[in-house]
Amino acid sequence: RKRIGVMTSGGDAPGMNAAVRAVVRMSIAKGCEPYAIFEGYEGLVKGGDLIKKMNWEDVRGWQSEGGTLIGTARCKEFRERPGRLAAAKNLILSGIDALIICGGDGSLTGADIFRSEWKGLLDELVQNKELTQAQTDQFQHLNIVGLVGSIDNDMSSTDATIGAYSSLTRICQSVDFIDATAYSHSRAFVVEVMGRHCGWLALMAGVSTGADFVFLPEKPPANGWEDEMCDIIRKHRALGKRKTIVIVAEGAIDRELNPISASYVKDILVSKLRLDTRITTLGHVQRGGTACAYDRMLATLQGVEAVEAVLESTPDTPSPMIAINENKITRKPLMDAVKLTQAVAACIQNKDFDGAMSLRDAEFEE
């Protein structure tokens, strides 16, 4: 019976538990044995109790649990070959040669490196007499399937990552709460939201809440944006708006790549518009709580697809990433998606903002 490992890695995201539940139950339904790897790559490197066989009932009710119940961690050892050697040994000892990883681009890159080194790692383990040839014979190929779990929606080639809509929902609720007090006192609020180098959360929060101005990493404002922002807010106020909401992505930058901070934006609103202005940094409430319906559905459908992908994969097919495109669950070559994601980041680093935007647009025209 084929053994399939499932793990969560990198930053936690709502919906990861639904993904693990779907993988566990679909594996069982397909006659396989699911194993949970606890604490991300740490569990692979350390093995022992951190690799545990899962039963149908072990994941009962997991759709409605936030965070990740099998834990996640950043694991330095796995970045180095000796760590991956220990991980390979632990997998062989547990009889696992297929891994479904729910994480961000870092985690999925690590998984692909692990797969590409697999044969060499096994040879080394046999040479070092840590394993016998007979132990490794039936595990000559490591199967990797990626599920993208990230609140940032920062992976190319998929319309949504698991967790992004839950986070967006939380941000919208929070801005609604702020709206009430902003309106009452006729105040301005500068709201900082997460997203790392991706502006999706900030942009969609801006659209969803009717924010006055939004700062994104991919599309820095033109020089002199201070006046432009103030003009727009003045116009909104002249139309009778009693509240001002400015959303700043945590990775927001100007055209010289200098960070745009919430406190600087606040200073401008106070000094140029004389607005009573407060800063709200939403912080980790954006990660917490239960997954929204969309993420539960996405994680469940993608978890099912991930098990199908494991069972259909061959040593010659590149590792797939389970995506969603135009409302269809799809498979994309994992490393192509990672490379495209990194290409967008490289454009921004080179101040080629038009290039970054056209790479993003190209995805939707595929």
Which residues lie near ligand ADP (CB under 6 A)?
9-11, 41, 74-75, 78-79, 103-107, 109-110, 113, 150
Quick one: 113 or 126, whose CB is closer to ligand ADP? 113
Check the annotation: does 151 bind a ligand: yes
CA distance 121 to 131: 11
C-alpha count within 13 angstroms, C-beta hemisphere, residue 154: 27
Quick one: 11 or 220, whose CB is closer to ligand ADP? 11
CB of 9 to ligand ADP, least distance (A): 5
Contacts of 29 (CB under 8 A, 6+ apart): none
Quick one: 210 or 283, whose CB is closer to ligand ADP? 283
Beta carbons of 329 and 305 less than 8 angstroms apart: yes
Which of 231, 236, 238, 225 is closest to 264 using CA atoms? 225
DSSP classification of residue 216: -
Check the annotation: does 16 bind a ligand: no
Quick one: 63 or 109, whose CB is closer to ligand ADP? 109
Quick one: 34 or 40, whose CB is closer to ligand ADP? 40
CB of 66 to ligand ADP, least distance (A): 17
User: What is the total residue count of the chain?
Assistant: 366
Instruction: Give residue 5's region: left, alpha or beta (phi > 0; psi -120 to 50).
Output: beta
Check the annotation: does 195 bind a ligand: yes
Quick one: 7 or 193, whose CB is closer to ligand ADP? 7
Count the neighbouring beta carbons within 10 Å of the beta carbon of residue 329. 16
Check the annotation: does 106 bind a ligand: yes
In 262-327, at which residue ranges do the beta strands (DSSP E only) sit? 277-281, 320-325
Catalytic residue among 152, 154, 212, 295: 152
CB of 202 to ligand ADP, least distance (A): 18
CB of 74 to ligand ADP, least distance (A): 4
CB of 196 to ligand ADP, least distance (A): 9
CA distance 303 to 306: 5
Check the annotation: does 326 bind a ligand: no
R_g over Cα of the chain: 23
152 is catalytic: yes
Find the residue with minimal CB distance to ligand ADP.
106
Check the annotation: does 286 bind a ligand: yes
In the chain, at which residue ranges do the beta strands (DSSP E only) sit? 3-8, 33-37, 51-53, 98-103, 143-148, 188-193, 213-215, 244-249, 277-281, 320-325, 328-333
Check the annotation: does 194 bind a ligand: yes
Count the neighbouring beta carbons within 10 Å of the beta carbon of residue 355. 15
CB of 39 to ligand ADP, least distance (A): 10
Mark the binding-site residues for substrate, compressed into ranges: 150-152, 187, 194-196, 250, 278, 284-287
Mark the binding-site residues, compressed into ranges: 11, 74-75, 104-107, 150-152, 187, 194-196, 250, 278, 284-287
Catalytic residue annotation: 152
Mark the binding-site residues for Mg(2+), compressed into ranges: 105
